Amino acid sequence: MMNDNQMIPKDSIETAYSFMHQKHRVYVHSTMDWQKDDIEIAISSYVDGMNQELYDLISHGKPDFLRQHDRFEEELTEAVETLEKMAFN
């Protein structure tokens, strides 16, 4: 039986994980609002062009996942954790 991420290219998962993990590390430790805003914009732009199946998996069907300021840190943390499991398990 195939799991959901077997239809998604491994490099798509690894690239998304690397990008989001790096941005997450900076975001959670940043004290500069402009830096956090820049990261939110970068992530939002990234997910606009990412593999749609992968986005659907990490978003768990949540509308505007990683595109809303008030939920961004929580959702970025969730995305990184999900991608890490997909990439390394």
pLDDT in tens, 24-54: 999 999 999 999 999 999 999 999 999 999 9
Q: What is the average pLDDT across 50-71?
A: 94
From residue 85, alpha-carbon distances to 5, 7, 42, 63 in Å are 11, 16, 23, 22
Q: Tell me what the pLDDT averaged over the chain comes to.
A: 92
Q: Quickly state the pLDDT bin for 89 (edges 50, 70, 90).
A: confident
Residue 82 CB neighbours (<10 A):
20
How many residues are recorded in the chain?
Answer: 89
Q: Quickly state the pLDDT bin for 3 (edges 50, 70, 90).
A: very low
Under 8 Å CB-to-CB from 37, ≥6 apart: which residues? none
Q: Quickly state the pLDDT bin for 60 (edges 50, 70, 90).
A: very high
